Structure 1
Amino acid sequence: MKKTLLTVGLCIVILLFGRWLNDAGASSGDGSAGGAACASIAGDLNGDSRRDISDAVFLLSHLFLGGPAPVAFCQGGGCDLEAKDCITLQKFFLSGDLLVPNQVAVGDKALLRRTESGTDGADFTLRDSAGTLTMNMDTEEIGGGAIIRMTNDAGIETVKIDADQVDAAAVELKKADGTLGILLDANNPIGGSLISTQVLKITGGADVAEPFDVEGGAAPGMVVAIDPARPGKLRLATEPNDRKVAGIVSGAGGVRPGLVMGQAGTSADGELSVALTGRVYCWCDAANGPIEPGDFLTSSATPGYAMRATDLEASRGAILGKAMTGLKDGRGLVLVLVGLQ
């Protein structure tokens, strides 16, 4: 009797152990893996086989999706994930390189591919909802560097950015019919950079100035004159009706120069912008009489200050411009329409 019970007990133990082995194998195969940090898949998943994995998958060789046909560039462990038809990912994290042999398309609206010119570059195109090409980025156009082109709703190119036009960058802004409107060229054949447009509107300043080195501690709004001791440079004007008067230092009263013309590294350069025409605030002295709008202004004996020109004959060749505001007495800023005479 005892021998029979022992035999039955041993059989039960063997059955339970077998059930445990089966459960463990199923847990590893379907990817649930209990509390494990990751799951491992061995063998093929052919036909309609499916494995759902909740944590992580480590691919030691290849994972082929969509069919068993071999892929030439994947043989020998060249890649870890190859989608034959389609793979859908909710999130995709890339820690290394993503290599695309030919092209990548996003629906029919975006395309990244090798250039059709046969170079080693690539181009990127975007289309609108109607399928019209709206933007093309070519990383290596024939005969030059990268180019970005954009079109309007009619498919006409209106923006062109060229990174290598005559050894420099250029930007073309075109009208709706494709004709050139604005050209920004960093290295024009005439020498230096070039901006070409039909109308130039400047909203940040009100006078045309040139840069000069000025002796004597000049400040914005002060009158300056040609310095005979330093050719090409200026000094504070210190004489009444000085025919060497050259202009007014720009920037006083919150009015900045709108256009400053000069050439770096030459005599046509300097630290201070001197207004040669336009509107600028000027320090004035009413010692020669009250200044009224419309009065001619000339240099005075007060260094850097202008005064009303009462003797036009004596002021011939020394007129700075016309006052646009008044000054009854003392010293102060007067808005001047600069015009050397």
Structure 2
Amino acid sequence: IDADFASTATNTFNVRAGNGVRIEADNNDNGLQVINSGADGVGLYAENSGSGKDDATLRANNNETSGGVTAYLTNNSNYATVHAYNGSNGEVLYLQNGGDSAGGGGGDFIKAVNEAQNDTQFRVTTTGEVYSDVGFNTPAADFAEMLPAVSGLAPGDVLAIGEDGRLIRTTEAYQPTVVGVYSTQPGFVGGMPVEGEAVGKVPLAVVGVVPVKVSAESGAIQPGDMLTASSTPGHAMKALSNAPQGTVIGKALEPLKGDTGVILMLVILQ
């Protein structure tokens, strides 16, 4: 049957079926082609009340086992090729690789290629490893490790190792167990579970620049001064030249204006 429908009405072609509609084409051309030549309205609109992947609003399957592609999208505008939106609290993008369930590892979850050079720029494997041709950029300036800690600590606190191995707030000058500073906004975090919640742990800044609480207990702090723990709980102070080995936590990048405050510090544990 070769049918052509034309109309100026709202619905040019309206089909109602109790068990759905099937369109099958046994050729090398398009099975179904939908074109909207107008500037307004969508080319293809689908609506459904089902739930889960088995009752998805739009589902496409490709039975080709070698080189088959389920969806290929092109865009000639300066807007995004794909715009995904979730009006509730579910994931916007959920990726699943069937090859991994059989223990074979499967292909990459994500692979970004520079078309001009056919060069892979970025990829994420099925095991969660991330590879990039360039560096990662973030406004934050430190790398932190999630470590067990007592409750009640706050960002900027100077921390030490407690008797049970958990991090505690420092309470004495040149405290020998001092280890660093509670990171305020780390750019990279080690020891964080995939679920994104580390109960009973806090981020300890180990590399980079971090805000730190300071005190003028041993004198005014100027940029370049070495810092160590003070007797003011959770605060650092200027380390004198005879500071015991292992008690210096960093170098001041800003002056302290007043008796106490918060300044930026370059993390240097020595």
Q: TM-score over 0.5 for the alignment?
A: yes
Q: Quick one: which of 101, 112, 116 aligns to 1:173?
A: 112
Alpha-carbon distance, 1:207 to partner: 0.9
| Cα 1:315–1:279 shift into 2, 3 Å | same
Number of the residue aligned with 1:235? 168
Asked whether the 8 Å contact 2:97–2:126 carries over to 1, the reply is no
Q: Which structure's relative contact order is higher, taking Cα pairs within 8 Å and 6+ residues apart?
A: 2
Q: Quick one: which of 9, 14, 23 aligns to 1:100?
A: 23
Equivalents in 1 of 2:151, 2:2: separation in Å? 80
| Cα 1:195–1:165 shift into 2, 3 Å | farther
Number of the residue aligned with 1:183? 123
2:243 is the alignment partner of 1:325: no
Alpha-carbon distance, 1:88 to partner: 2.3
TM-score, length-scaled by structure 2: 0.67
Q: Which amino acid aligns with 1:98?
A: V
Instruction: Give CA-to-partner distance per residue, 1:192-232, whole Å, 9 cap, x none.
Output: x11111222222411111112322521110001112x323x
Please give the residue correspondences for 1:93-172 in structure 2 after superposition, counting only pairs within 5 Å. 93-96=14-17, 97-102=20-25, 103-106=31-34, 139-142=62-65, 147-149=70-72, 163-167=97-101, 170-172=109-111
2:189 is the alignment partner of 1:260: yes
Instruction: Decide which structure has greater strand share.
Output: 1
Number of the residue aligned with 2:40? none
Asked whether the 8 Å contact 2:217–2:230 carries over to 1, the reply is no
Q: Quick one: which of 188, 191, 195 aligns to 2:130?
A: 195
Number of the residue aligned with 1:294? 224
The secondary structure found in structure 1 opposite 2:188 is strand
Equivalents in 2 of 1:204, 1:95: separation in Å? 54
Q: Which amino acid aligns with 2:229?
A: S
Q: Which amino acid aligns with 2:135?
A: L
| Cα 1:222–1:94 shift into 2, 3 Å | farther
Identity %: 30
Asked whether the 8 Å contact 1:206–1:278 carries over to 2, the reply is yes
Unaligned runs of 5+ in 1: 1-82, 111-136, 154-160, 188-192
The root-mean-square deviation of aligned C-alpha atoms, in Å, is: 3.3
The secondary structure found in structure 2 opposite 1:273 is strand
Give the aligned length: 211
Number of the residue aligned with 1:9? none
Unaligned runs of 5+ in 2: 26-30, 36-42, 44-59, 77-94
Equivalents in 1 of 2:70, 2:191: separation in Å? 32
Number of the residue aligned with 1:224? 159
Alpha-carbon distance, 1:163 to partner: 4.3
Number of the residue aligned with 2:47? none
Alpha-carbon distance, 1:309 to partner: 0.1
Number of the residue aligned with 1:31? none
